[in-house]
A and B are shown apart, each in its own frame.
Chain A
């Protein structure tokens, strides 16, 4: 109790709590919807579609979590442990699927694998079969959704896992060897458990993305919570029941996060000192090296290269009409908003995680936990959740202004870049927090203590010890937020100011109008704009982890 009172009177903590509370508003708005309860709507949902929503959402999230885990861990393991020809190219190739929005890859694969697409047409040409003579798996299914989403989300696991694997000290392996433990046993008993926090964090992020996905499941015709939320809101015209459904989805995510935290709590160890010698990478021979190369090439091949080729082909058909003077504005808008969001979100994440580490109060930990929930809430729901408080703030300011000047000021928050940045902060703070926290975990508390006992202020500890040591995690956090915002659609669509279009908006509008071929050009541009920071930051991350 004492602790809580202290927390509220401490300005540093008070400020962080206030910040957290602001970022939680949409989540509060969603849960407040339970104040009104309409049994008839819920009994209709329970009788008809609710079980589909629950089962499909869970299967999708678990499937994507496992898929990302398998792809991410395998590639990270090979990349961290072995040297082989082509490794340098893979270093950034493996991250490229990050730049590919899930709904775009879903549209693209449908185009490739459809009955009329190149794959099945070729199959028919070769075999002489017609329709009904063969069965071809349908990409537009739950399994297909799990596959395409795993292909673009595995980098979350890969990035964290690779750092975790490469930081494991060589001494551990030597110790295992001296005790006669086989390589395989060492991997299972030492390597994997040590990397587990990173792996689970990556998988949890992928799962949250899967929970929040709307574009892919909508196009594939899978009933999940997100499609259900929109169906209830737009179709039944019931905003309250839609908010209640969102809160159930939110609770799923909360459970995922708690499970993640619990699994990490058991293994609270820090590396003793940073001056250990990392394991050197083993040089592979020709045959094994080629095998490693091709194995690692598969995820980016299917998650990036093939779909880009298809998009590129479509773009050649339409570039003359798609490339107008507005196109440059689209690119600049996208870049500006993604960059601004990356700076804002990473700053907020640093403040919050740092505050939590410094004070270690349950209130602040809970704060960080709740703020992370935003990642799994569909962007539209967040957008509507902040329309309400922003509208309220605008009306309050205008009332005040009118009492001074007798005139109305107009909208200050709603429909401005501020609203967009606010929404992005809520939606993507989890990505930044997770990355920074897993980086902070590698800095021992004894370093903090030493610095503080030498008289350094908390700010100075942050600036001179944590930021330099955290550089890799901060950069990867910034990269992920940048790319995520570049791809973000629903919140941008609802909250953006007049005449402010982005590449994602343009490509979605055309794709949702089923003009896939016309959508290819802006989609390709998203991918290309996303590439630049991916390449720059891979290099920066590499340099930082080599220090």
Chain B
């Protein structure tokens, strides 16, 4: 019993020590809530600390959960910066009042206007594109044109795409609704689902694998998944990725669907100056190059050279709709997909 008490008191001492770290704040530091996974942000944060002497404290998690945490912490929140991987969550954070406007000539100057919030609440850091990937053995690229045309009967049983619970599909459909209206997109979704080769399952990489396996002939997936497979440690995965080609849809009309990852300063940021400094750092040329080479995302900064993998996918024309609308129409998109029976 006595031993137990010793263990208990030891543990509680440890707990207190760890507990206290949360509210003893150092002079020069910045606290980040990130929906970007640790592996896809930590290296550049470490570099920021080294270059500026500002310590970065990091918590990663799902964007909506982090927004809930900001909400419940309110003005006591230690967080300074919120990083998300899609525009919908940035819009949601702004709507819920957990972000604030910032003034930064650096960001204003560097990031193209359509990649930032009108009220300067958020700024895009990278662009993610969602093209068609096909098997060159079974598909002639001349057969492909637009996402809308994938409802044609000739594609019956030949399309693979992941679940509609995934944010990338939600954003893609939301962007379509913005450009074509809900009724038209609903009709499209119904016919599109009829052409699925199998009920949606797995992630984007799984759809690419299914194309190579012959389960379907085309897949819709984000380019950085293909990029990741091309540079995988697993030689089998690499070989699979080499057997598909990228096709950029809608090049003669609205452009291929894109989404962004971005950053915002929180409403009650205790270290606002450092927070702005960090976001500016993330928009610097070398940081932008880092995203492109590590995770094959497209830089928002113009004039940053693309990695060889990205170059291999080819140039493309992107959608130019106001990005915040993608966030606003997210719920409509989910309902449309529910009605179409897109699992």
Interface residues of A (CB under 8 A from B): 44, 47-49, 110, 114-116, 130-132, 140, 218-221, 223, 227, 230-231, 233-239, 314, 317-318, 321, 336, 339-340, 343, 380, 383-384, 387-388, 390-391, 394-395, 398, 408-412, 414-418, 421, 463, 490, 493-501, 505-506, 509-510, 512-515, 517-518
Q: List 18 A-B contacts (CB under 8 A).
A: A48-B338, A48-B341, A110-B202, A219-B202, A234-B64, A235-B170, A318-B233, A336-B14, A391-B74, A394-B73, A408-B76, A412-B23, A414-B69, A418-B15, A418-B19, A493-B62, A500-B18, A518-B233
| B60 is an interface residue with CB less than 8 A from chain A | yes
Contacts A387-B69, A518-B233 known; 4 new A-B pairs at CB < 8 A: A140-B202, A227-B165, A317-B234, A421-B15
Among A227, A237, A318, A387, find the residue whose CB has the most chain B CB atoms closer than 10 A.
A237
Chain B contact residues (Cβ within 8 angstroms of A): what range?
35 or more
Q: Name which residue of chain B comes closest to A509, CB basis.
A: B37
| B214 is an interface residue with CB less than 8 A from chain A | yes
Interface residues of B (CB under 8 A from A): 1, 4, 7-8, 11, 14-15, 18-19, 21-23, 25, 31, 37-40, 57-62, 64-66, 68-69, 71-74, 76-78, 92, 162-163, 165, 167, 170, 199-206, 209-210, 212-215, 225, 228, 232-234, 236-237, 240, 330-331, 333-335, 338-339, 341, 343
Check B331 against A237 for contact (C-beta < 8 Å): yes
How far apart are the CA atoms of A340 and B7 in the complex, in Å?
Answer: 9
Q: Name which residue of chain A comes closest to B210, CB basis.
A: A115
Q: Name which residue of chain A comes closest to B15, CB basis.
A: A417
- Whole-angstrom distance from the CB of A402 to the nearest CB of chain B? 11
Check A131 against B214 for contact (C-beta < 8 Å): yes
- Whole-angstrom distance from the CB of B234 to the nearest CB of chain A? 5
Check B38 against A506 for contact (C-beta < 8 Å): yes
Name the one of A234, A236, A500, A513 contacting B167, with C-beta atoms under 8 angstroms.
A234
Check B7 against A409 for contact (C-beta < 8 Å): no
How far apart are the CA atoms of A412 and B73 in the complex, in Å?
Answer: 11
Check B237 against A517 for contact (C-beta < 8 Å): yes
Q: Name which residue of chain A comes closest to B40, CB basis.
A: A513
- Whole-angstrom distance from the CB of A183 to the nearest CB of chain B? 44
Among A114, A490, A513, find the residue whose CB has the most chain B CB atoms closer than 10 A.
A513
Instruction: Evaluate whether A235 and B213 lie within 8 angstroms (CB atoms) in the complex, with A411-B23, A499-B58 already known.
Output: no
Check B339 against A48 for contact (C-beta < 8 Å): yes
Check B22 against A498 for contact (C-beta < 8 Å): yes
Check A140 against B201 for contact (C-beta < 8 Å): yes
B202: which A residues are within 8 A, CB to CB? 110, 140, 219, 221
B341: which A residues are within 8 A, CB to CB? 48
Check B22 against A416 for contact (C-beta < 8 Å): yes
Check A505 against B60 for contact (C-beta < 8 Å): yes
Q: Name which residue of chain B comes closest to A384, CB basis.
A: B68
B236: which A residues are within 8 A, CB to CB? 116
Check A130 against B165 for contact (C-beta < 8 Å): no
Name the one of A47, A132, A387, A514 contacting B72, with C-beta atoms under 8 angstroms.
A387
Among B4, B65, B73, B204, find the residue whose CB has the most chain A CB atoms closer than 10 A.
B65
A387: which B residues are within 8 A, CB to CB? 68-69, 71-72
Q: Name which residue of chain A comes closest to B170, CB basis.
A: A235
Check A132 against B214 for contact (C-beta < 8 Å): yes
Name the one of A235, A394, A500 contacting B330, with C-beta atoms under 8 angstroms.
A235
Check A395 against B76 for contact (C-beta < 8 Å): yes
Check A514 against B205 for contact (C-beta < 8 Å): yes
Check B65 against A116 for contact (C-beta < 8 Å): no
A411: which B residues are within 8 A, CB to CB? 22-23, 73, 76-78
Q: Name which residue of chain B comes closest to A131, CB basis.
A: B214
Q: Name which residue of chain A comes closest to B57, CB basis.
A: A498
How far apart are the CA atoms of A517 and B73 in the complex, in Å?
Answer: 36
Check A343 against B209 for contact (C-beta < 8 Å): no
- Whole-angstrom distance from the CB of A287 to the nearest CB of chain B? 41
Check A221 against B65 for contact (C-beta < 8 Å): no
- Whole-angstrom distance from the CB of B335 to the nearest CB of chain A? 6
A509: which B residues are within 8 A, CB to CB? 37-39, 60
Check B72 against A390 for contact (C-beta < 8 Å): yes
How far apart are the CA atoms of A237 and B333 in the complex, in Å?
Answer: 11
How far apart are the CA atoms of A418 and B17 in the complex, in Å?
Answer: 11
How far apart are the CA atoms of A498 and B203 in the complex, in Å?
Answer: 29
- Whole-angstrom distance from the CB of B45 to the nearest CB of chain A? 11
Check A497 against B22 for contact (C-beta < 8 Å): yes
Check B72 against A340 for contact (C-beta < 8 Å): no
Instruction: Evaluate whether A416 and B331 lie within 8 angstroms (CB atoms) in the complex, with A130-B214, A223-B343 already known.
Output: no
A49: which B residues are within 8 A, CB to CB? 338
How far apart are the CA atoms of A227 and B215 in the complex, in Å?
Answer: 25
Check B215 against A235 for contact (C-beta < 8 Å): no
Check A497 against B167 for contact (C-beta < 8 Å): no
How far apart are the CA atoms of A115 and B92 in the complex, in Å?
Answer: 39
Q: Name which residue of chain A comes closest to B19, CB basis.
A: A416
- Whole-angstrom distance from the CB of B1 to the nearest CB of chain A? 7
6 shortest interchain CB distances as A-B pairs = A221-B201, A391-B72, A131-B214, A410-B23, A115-B213, A498-B57
B338: which A residues are within 8 A, CB to CB? 44, 48-49
Instruction: Evaluate whether A131 and B18 lie within 8 angstroms (CB atoms) in the complex, with A384-B68, A499-B58 already known.
Output: no
Check A343 against B205 for contact (C-beta < 8 Å): no
Name the one of B14, B39, B233, B334 contacting A236, with C-beta atoms under 8 angstroms.
B334
Check A415 against B22 for contact (C-beta < 8 Å): yes
B167: which A residues are within 8 A, CB to CB? 234-235
B21: which A residues are within 8 A, CB to CB? 497-498
B233: which A residues are within 8 A, CB to CB? 317-318, 321, 517-518
A388: which B residues are within 8 A, CB to CB? 72
Check B68 against A498 for contact (C-beta < 8 Å): no
How far apart are the CA atoms of A515 and B231 in the complex, in Å?
Answer: 11
How far apart are the CA atoms of A340 and B18 in the complex, in Å?
Answer: 13
B38: which A residues are within 8 A, CB to CB? 501, 505-506, 509
Check A494 against B65 for contact (C-beta < 8 Å): yes
- Whole-angstrom distance from the CB of A458 to the nearest CB of chain B? 16
Instruction: Evaluate whether A236 and B199 lie within 8 angstroms (CB atoms) in the complex, with A116-B209, A410-B22, A509-B37 already known.
Output: no
Instruction: Evaluate whether A314 and B23 lie within 8 angstroms (CB atoms) in the complex, with A219-B202, A391-B74 already known.
Output: no
How far apart are the CA atoms of A47 and B228 in the complex, in Å?
Answer: 39
